[in-house]
Amino acid sequence: MSETLERWGSKRAFILAVTGAAVGLGNIWRFPYVAGENGGAAFLLIYVAFVLLLGIPVMMAEILIGRAGRRGPMQALSALAAEAGASPHWRWLGLFGAFTVFCILSFYSVVSGWSIEFLVASVNGNFNGASAAEIGAGFEAFLANPGLLIFNHSLFLFMTMTVVAAGVAKGLERLNNLLMPLLYLLLLLLAGYAATTDGFAPALAWLFLPSFEALTPSVVVHAMGHAFFTLAVGACALMAYGAYMPEEQSLPKAAVAVAVLDISVALLAGIAIFSVVFAQGMDPTDGPGLMFVTLPIAFSELPWGSVWLSVFFLLLLLATWTSAINLAEPMVATLQGLGLRRSISTAIVALSVWLIGLLSAFSFSTLSEFRPLFGRNVFELVSSIPPDVFLPLGGLLIAVFAAWVMPRERVVSALGVGESGYRVWRNIIRWVSIPLTFIVLLAGLL
Ligand code: PHE
Ligand code: NA
C-alpha cells in the first residue's frame, strides 16, 4: 500500500515539476507580444504546429536522456555517450544548455520583477479608475526608472536562488500546481468577460484567421523559438527531471499533457489580452508591455477588479517563480559537477545572473541606445537570440543524441511505451523534428 502511494506521489511529482517549468511568463507575457509582432494567427498556427512536431518529441528526447542517465545533464550525456562508444564531447551540450538558461534567466528575472511591481500596485489599488492612457503612461514611467526595475529584479532573483539553495523547489511546485487551476479559472473568467466586449470578434479574427501574406520566414523562426521556450525544451533544463521519473510512467502521455496545458494557458491569455487591444484601439505590435498594460484595463472593468488583479499577479508570480527555479537549477548543478559546494555554486549563479540582468534593466532607459549586435539593445538581444537560436540548436543536438547516438535498448526502456511506440517516436524525430529544426535554424541564420 505504502509503495503504491509512494509511486503515485512520484508520478505526480514528475508532472508537477515539468508543468512548473513550462507554464510561466512564456505563456502569459511572451506569447501575446511575440504573436502581436508576428502577424497573430499566422504565428499561432505555426507555433502550435511546432509544439506538436518538434516540441513534444524533443521534450521526450530530452527527458529520456535524463531518465536513462539518472544523473545531471553533463554526467548523463558523457555516461551514455561512453556506453554507445560515441565522442565524450557530447557532454558539452550540457554546458551549452547552462549558458542558454543563463542568458534567459537574466531577462526573465527582470520581467518577473515587473510582476512584483504590478502586484504591489494592484494591492494598493493604483489601477482603480485609471484610464487606458494613464495605465500605459504609468508603465512607461516605470520602465524609465532603472532603480525600481533593479530593486524588483534583485528581489525576484533572491526569491528564486533562496529556493534553489534550500532545495525546497518541490514544495513550491506543489503549491504552484494547487493554485494553477485558479490561474486557469481567472484567465477563463477574463476570456469569458472579453466575449461580451467589442474587442472580442476582432481578437478572435486576429488570432485564428491567418492571412497567408503574414506568413514570412521570420514569423516561422520566431514561432519555432517560442515553441521551445514555452515548453522549456532545448536547454537540458528538463533533462534532470527525467532522473526521478518512476519506472512505469509513460513519457509520451506526460509530455502531451504538459503541452496541451501550456498551449491552452497561452490561448486564454491571448484572447483576454487581444480583446482589450482591439476594444481600446491599441496596437498589437506594442511589444513587451502588452500584457502589463492590457490586463489592468480588463480587470478594472470587472466588479472587485483590483482584488482579482492582485490575485492574478500573485499567481503569475508563482508560475514564473517555478520556471525561474528550473532555469537556475542546471547552472547550479553544472558548477556542482565541477566540484563546488551547492551554496557556493548558488551564490556564483545568483551574482552573475544579477549582474548581467542589470544590462536588461537599463535597456529601458540609460542603455536603450546601447546596441552591441544586430542593432538590438541588450534586453532585445537576450530575449530573442537565446529562445530563437540557442534553444532550437540545443534541442536539435538533444534530438540527434537520443535518436541516433544513444544505444537503442536504452531509448526503448526510457520511453516506456514498448517497441512499436518507440518506432513511432523515432520516425517522427528522425524524419520530421530533426530536419525541420535544422532547416528553420539555417533559414533563420541566413
Ligand atoms: N517555459 C518557461 C515559460 O514559458 C520558460 C523557460 C524556458 C523555463 C526554458 C525553463 C527553460 O515561461
Ligand atoms: Na510556457
Q: What is the mean pLDDT of the chain?
A: 93
d(CA 423, CA 406): 15
Ligand 1 pocket test target in 103, 176, 230 with most atoms within 8 Å of CB: 230
Is the CB of residue 39 less than 8 Å from the CB of residue 219?
yes
Residue 180 in contact with ligand 1 by CB distance below 6 A: no
Q: Which amino acid is at 86?
A: A
- 396 pLDDT above the threshold of 90: yes
Confidence of residue 271 (pLDDT cuts 50, 70, 90): very high
Residue 323 in contact with ligand 1 by CB distance below 6 A: yes
Task: List pLDDT tens digits, range 42-69.
Answer: 999 999 999 999 999 999 999 999 999 9
- 175 pLDDT above the threshold of 80: yes
Q: From the CA of 23, how far away is ligand 1's center (Å)?
A: 7
Q: From the CA of 213, how far away is ligand 2's center (Å)?
A: 27
Mean pLDDT of all residues in 24-31: 98
Q: What percent of the chain has pLDDT over 90?
A: 82
Ligand 1 pocket test target in 229, 327, 383, 398 with most atoms within 8 Å of CB: 229
Q: For Cα atoms 382, 177, 308, give the angle at the middle one, nearest 5 degrees.
A: 80
d(CA 136, CA 113): 18
Mean pLDDT of all residues in 176-184: 87
Task: List pLDDT tens digits, range 123-141.
Answer: 999 998 889 999 999 999 9
d(CA 335, CA 342): 8
Write the CB contacts of 57 (distance below 8 Å, at least 6 apart in sequence): 399, 425, 428, 429, 432, 433
pLDDT score recorded for residue 139? 96
Reported pTM: 0.95
Q: What letter does residue 28 receive in the DSSP assignment?
A: I
80-87 long-range Cβ contacts below 8 angstroms, 24+ apart: 80/401, 80/405, 80/406, 80/407, 80/410, 81/401, 81/405, 83/407, 83/410, 84/405, 84/406, 84/407, 86/405
pLDDT score recorded for residue 146? 97
Write the CB contacts of 149 (distance below 8 Å, at least 6 apart in sequence): 110, 113, 114, 142, 143, 361, 364
d(CA 259, CA 57): 11
Confidence of residue 2 (pLDDT cuts 50, 70, 90): very low
pLDDT score recorded for residue 405? 97
Phi/psi at 284 (5° precision): -60, -20
Inter-helix orientation angle 200-208/251-279, to 10°: 130
pLDDT score recorded for residue 363? 97
- 227 pLDDT above the threshold of 50: yes
Write the CB contacts of 251 (distance below 8 Å, at least 6 apart in sequence): 60, 63, 64, 67, 245, 414, 415, 416, 417
Report helix, strand or coil for 118: helix
pLDDT score recorded for residue 7? 46
Q: Which atom from ligand 1 is nearest to the alpha carbon of 391?
A: 9
Q: List the beta bridge partners of residue 373.
A: 376
Confidence of residue 14 (pLDDT cuts 50, 70, 90): confident
Is the CB of residue 302 less than 8 Å from the CB of residue 193?
yes
- 4 pLDDT above the threshold of 70: no
Mean pLDDT of all residues in 9-16: 80
Mean pLDDT of all residues in 439-445: 93
Confidence of residue 105 (pLDDT cuts 50, 70, 90): very high
d(CA 44, CA 47): 5
For 188-207, give the DSSP string.
Answer: HHHHHHHTTSTTHHHHHHHH
Write the CB contacts of 283 (distance below 8 Å, at least 6 apart in sequence): 277
- Torsion over CA of 294, 22, 234 and 112, rounded to 10 degrees? 50
> Would you state the cell numbers that stand for residue 15, as one nine-digit string?
508532472
Q: Which atom from ligand 1 is nearest to the alpha carbon of 229?
A: 7
- 8 pLDDT above the threshold of 70: no
Write the CB contacts of 191 (distance below 8 Å, at least 6 apart in sequence): 268, 271, 272, 275
Task: List pLDDT tens digits, range 300-339.
Answer: 888 888 999 999 999 999 999 999 999 999 899 889 888 9
Confidence of residue 208 (pLDDT cuts 50, 70, 90): very high
Confidence of residue 173 (pLDDT cuts 50, 70, 90): confident
Q: What letter does residue 303 receive in the DSSP assignment?
A: T
Mean pLDDT of all residues in 405-432: 95
pLDDT score recorded for residue 9? 63
